Amino acid sequence: MSSLKYWIWLATRQGASPVRTLRVLEQFGSPERAYFADPGEYGMLADIPDKLRAALADKSLAEAARILGECERLGLRVLTLQDAEYPERLRQIPDPPAVLYLRGRTFAFDEEAAIAVVGAREPTPYGVKMAGKLGLELARQGALLVSGIAQGLDAAAIRGALKGGGPVVSVLGGGVDVVYPRENRFLYEDVAAAGALISEYPPGTGIQAGHFPVRNRIISGLSLAVVVVEAPEKSGALITANTALEQGRDVFAVPGPINAASSRGCNQLIRDGAGLVMEAWDVLGTYQQRFPQKLRPIRAVLPETPGSAEAEPASASAQPVRQPEKAPALPILNMAREGAALTDDQQRILRMLPADRPLLADEAAVATDLPVRRVLSALTMLEIDGYVCRQGAGSFLRTVELKEE
């Protein structure tokens, strides 16, 4: 505990950005040595502004002691770069936080298949459905969800993961005791109980707009991959995706309608090489060999009613399923009423797709004379609505009976 005060002292110096903090540590070897250094030695630090040199010359530990007292009162864990529990993935990024404040469970992050889900703060209903679906599937298939905790897609993904019984880590843009937005106060408690709230900012630190872009590097740094669910051309989620690429992380994106401004950022990511995501296993299948004891695929099941797109875990000892003597009647979709809300592509694909045998997306593209990208986008939305379900890798089955009158 005694060395923690020096880490907090260094991390809270005015002008001590993560990169500059690393520069100080490289020069002196530890925060304690930096603290006891002669002020004249700070002149040897290259590329360090004068305000940081002046802050290093301030030897008061009162603020560090106050922060430690708050951490003890709130029951927070403090991790530093020197701690064995500090995530190695995060330690390897160019600008890791020197100190992390944690409320909730402590994870062996490097043993977790951690996947970040990010997206717009003002999403469409489609984005909310997809974020919740991915959060649920990631949890059920053994992954650790990493996200922020903003309104919109962050909250939707978190609620999905909590519903799936999985752990969640939320990285905050303020102190872990500062709830923002206030509407998410109950979600904060749920995450702290089932997972962890993490921040590089000391408890009591208020929310500032500039904190969020800085925070995003931790979200991607903790994760194997970043999934962008829905994002316009100019979005903080795209900043996180770019940061992930700079850190050597994989980037995936959920496709959306080609004429939707809310999905333009995602569609551009896919065009530029990001992995296309229609379900969580599109991401997790990449890492199954690295985490064979944690990640488990699930099999798709026919939804009970249109609108359900959940899947159930596959049994490890599952046997071939016998075809029932009489298949249950499919729910009816009136194309003149409910079906009228579908796009032309969705209607065209739905009418062509069989209900008795699965069809590959490539085959659907040939049958409808539509580009594969548009077919995949339409199938994703139809799956969310419960009108089709996935049968194996890249094949789909219609799950409703169509009524044309």
Name the pLDDT band for 36 (thresholds 50, 70, 90): very high
What integer pLDDT is reported at residue 94 of this predicted model?
Answer: 93
Q: Is 77 helix (H, G, I), strand (E, B) or coil?
A: strand
pLDDT tier, 394 (very low <50, low <70, confident <90, very high otherwise): low
Q: What share of the chain in percent tops pLDDT 90?
A: 63
How high is the mean pLDDT of the chain?
A: 87
pLDDT value, residue 374: 79
Query: Which tens digit of pLDDT belongs to each residue from 203-238?
Result: 999 988 888 888 999 999 999 999 999 999 888 899
Is the pLDDT higher at 46 or at 187? 187
Digit-coded pLDDT (tens) for 153-191? 999 999 999 999 999 999 999 999 999 888 888 999 999
Q: Which residue has the tokens 């630090």?
A: 45
Q: Which residues of 23-47 are buried (b: 16+ CB within 10 A; e: fewer)?
A: bbbebbeebbebbebeeeebeebee
- List, for residues 95-113, the tens digit of each pLDDT value: 999 999 999 988 899 999 9
Give residue 376's pLDDT.
Answer: 77
pLDDT band at 46, cuts 50/70/90?
Answer: confident
- Looking at 30-34, 66-70, 83-87, 361-365, which range is the least confident one? 361-365
Return d(Cα 41, Cα 345) in angstroms, integer: 68
What is the pLDDT averaged over residues 117-125?
91
Looking at residue 2, its pLDDT comes to 57
| Residue 259 pLDDT > 80 | yes
Instruction: Let me know if the fold of 109-287 is the same as that of 299-315+325-403.
Output: no
Q: What pLDDT, on a 0 to 100 scale, did the predictor assign at position 151?
A: 84
Phi, psi of 257 (to 5 degrees): -55, 140
How many angstroms separate the CA atoms of 307 and 132, rounded? 13
Q: How far apart are CA 135 and CA 158, in angstroms?
A: 6
> Residue 229: its pLDDT value, please?
95
Other beta carbons within 10 angstroms of residue 362's beta carbon come to 13
Q: Which CATH class is domain 299-315+325-403?
A: mainly alpha
* CA distances in angstroms from 379 to 293, 327, 352, 371, listed in the order given: 31, 24, 12, 12
Predicted pLDDT of residue 215: 93
pLDDT in the model for residue 325: 45
Share of the chain above pLDDT 70, in %: 91
Cis peptide before 181 (omega within 30 of 0): yes
What local confidence, expressed as pLDDT, does residue 302 receive?
A: 34
pLDDT at 322: 42
pLDDT of residue 279: 94
The residue type of 134 is L
Residue 315 has pLDDT above 50, yes or no: no
Residue 316 confidence class, pLDDT cut points 50, 70, 90: very low
Residue 380 pLDDT grade (very low, low, confident, very high; cuts 50, 70, 90): confident
The pLDDT value recorded for residue 392 is: 59
Show me where the domains of the chain are located.
4-74, 109-287, 299-315+325-403
Residue 359 has a pLDDT of: 85
Q: Please give the full DSSP string across 37-64, using - where no structure is assigned.
A: S-GGGGGG-TT--HHHHHHHH----HHH
CA distance 360 to 175: 48
Dist CA 108 CA 401 (whole Å) = 48
First to last CA, the chain: 73
Write the pLDDT tens digit of every residue in 279-313: 999 999 999 999 999 999 875 433 343 444 444 44
pLDDT band at 135 (very low <50, low <70, confident <90, very high): very high
> In whole angstroms, what is the distance from residue 231 CA to residue 119 CA?
6
The label of the residue with tokens 């060999």 reads 289
Residue 84's identity, in one-letter code, is A
Residue 366's alpha-carbon distances to 135, 207, 342, in angstroms, are 32, 51, 21
Quick one: fold of 109-287?
Rossmann fold (3.40.50)
Backbone angles phi, psi at 167, to 5 degrees: -80, 155
Q: 139-150, pLDDT tens digit by residue?
A: 999 999 999 998
CA–CA separation, 404 and 192 (whole Å): 50
Q: How far is CA 104 from CA 101, 168, 216, in A?
A: 10, 10, 20
Nearest alpha carbon to residue 202 among 373, 12, 35, 62: 12
**In this predicted model, which residue has the larger pLDDT, 356 or 280?**
280
Res 323 pLDDT > 70: no
Which pLDDT band, with edges at 50, 70 and 90, does 350 fall under?
Answer: very high
**Kind of pairing between the strands at 77-80 and 99-104:** antiparallel
